[in-house]
Structure 1
Amino acid sequence: MFKVTEDMTIMHVLQQDREVAPIFMKYGLHCLGCPGATMESIADAGKVHGIDVSKLVEDLNKHFASK
């Protein structure tokens, strides 16, 4: 099973399964194709957008666990 961590980039996670896009969007991370998605970590994106990164990672991992 794929396990998401805060130090991964958004794009790395999306490359594993594009169906996670709505999860990122739910947390306000809408620019999934922008350069930031390929360069900054989920933790960095969370700081910029003021979101609960641990909850986002938890939701992403729930998705991958259900596969």
Structure 2
Amino acid sequence: MFVTKDTIIAEILQNDPTQGCVPIFLATGMHCLGCMAAHGETLEQACAVHGVDADALAAELNDYFGNK
């Protein structure tokens, strides 16, 4: 999977059956991965709410998915 700022949070989670990406989100302070907003919220929107750099988080997630 390739993650961009426009990728929906739920899509990222659905494409990772082992849920190994969850600790990456939790480390940034995103503890609401199961909330309804995650189903329609883009990575960029979630990052804006949580004060996280969307480009940096996308890069970290792509490193994770690239090494799977």
Normalised to the residue count of structure 2, the TM-score between the two structures is 0.92
Q: What is the root-mean-square deviation in Å for CA atoms of aligned residues?
A: 0.7
1-structure distance, mates of 2:67, 2:41: 26
2-structure distance, mates of 1:15, 1:47: 22
DSSP-derived class of the 1:19 partner: coil
More helix, by proportion: 1
DSSP-derived class of the 2:34 partner: coil
Runs (5+) with no aligned partner, structure 1: none
**When the two structures are aligned, how many residues end up with a matched partner?**
66
Superposition pairs of residues 1-67 of structure 1, within 5 angstroms: 2-17=1-16, 18-67=19-68
The percentage of aligned residue pairs carrying the same residue is: 42
Normalised to the residue count of structure 1, the TM-score between the two structures is 0.93
| 1:23 Cα offset (Å) | 0.4
* Dislocated runs of 4+, deviation >3 Å: none
